[in-house]
Amino acid sequence: MSEKQNSFSIKNWSEADRPREKLMDKGKAALSDAELVAILIGSGNRQESAVQLCKRILASADHNLGTLGKMSIAQLMDFKGIGEAKAITIVAALELGRRRRAGETLQLDKITSSQSAFELMQPIIGELPHEEFWIIYLNNSNKVIHKSQLSKGGITGTLVDVRLVFKTAFEVGAVGLILTHNHPSGTLNPSDADKQITKKLKIGGESLDIKVLDHLIITENAYFSFADEGLM
């Protein structure tokens, strides 16, 4: 059998099995995650079609696109049939999806609840492998006028410069703040350090007429709100 006859390229599949044609005929919502990723890579290997290969890759990521998006180029290349170019294509496509979600949350420019603050920040810090501390700066209508990363640390923690928090607040004219940081471990329990920095910033803000409204601990799928739990 020639290499061409043994090829698992999508163009050589039966029409009913072609995800590109399926997308054209039935729309993008009709395709499975594996079929969509298969369109990106175009072909599988000598033993698997692109869809079969992508099903196996997704299975290794617990069928979770968020988990797949965290896989490195090297990890993807461990799968037979995924070379550097295909791995880069998958990584780039999932990063575009993450940025699209982050861009959509920018429409949410007024914080009305802890949930809305979570939806604003989760795409930014919710899936990071390290800890970051961000501040959301609000005007007197609770509209977001600025948000910025205050610090970036290891998985064990991060340092917070209190003076910089209020310096930025004055520069942008903020009257309210929401503190946010992520826990890469996935735990939602606030540490003693989390409680101490919240208290320190709240006291500092009171003397400057700048309210610290909440502190959110954010993970990939959930959050903990100090305000909701009566800890503010």
Neighbour order of strands in the sheet with 176-182: 144-152, 132-138, 176-182, 211-218, 223-225
């409680």: which residue's tokens?
195
Could you report the per-residue pLDDT of 114-148, keeping only the tens digit for each? 999 999 999 999 989 899 999 999 999 999 999 99
Question: Is residue 226 within 8 Å of residue 190, measured between CB atoms?
Answer: yes
Residue 4: band (very low, low, confident or very high) from pLDDT cuts 50, 70, 90: very low
- One-letter amino acid for residue 146 of the chain: H
Whole-number Å distance between alpha carbons of 223 and 232: 16
Tens of pLDDT, residues 11-56: 555 544 688 888 888 888 888 999 999 999 999 898 888 999 999 9
> Using an 8 Å Cβ cutoff, are 57 and 78 in contact?
no
Q: What's the full length of the chain, in residues?
A: 232
CA dist 113 → 88, 96, 102, 147 (Å):
38, 28, 18, 16
Give the confidence band of 153 by pLDDT, cuts at 50, 70, 90: confident
Residue 109 confidence (pLDDT): 73
Q: Residue 118: what pLDDT?
A: 95
Collapsing DSSP to helix, strand or coil, 200 comes out as helix
User: Taken in order 140, 110, 136, 171, is the CA torsion positive or negative?
Assistant: negative
Looking at the predicted structure, is the pLDDT value of residue 87 above 90? yes
Contact 8, 45 (CB under 8 A): yes
- Of the two residues 87 and 24, the one the predictor is more confident about is 87
How high is the pLDDT of residue 189? 92
- What mean pLDDT value characterizes the chain? 87
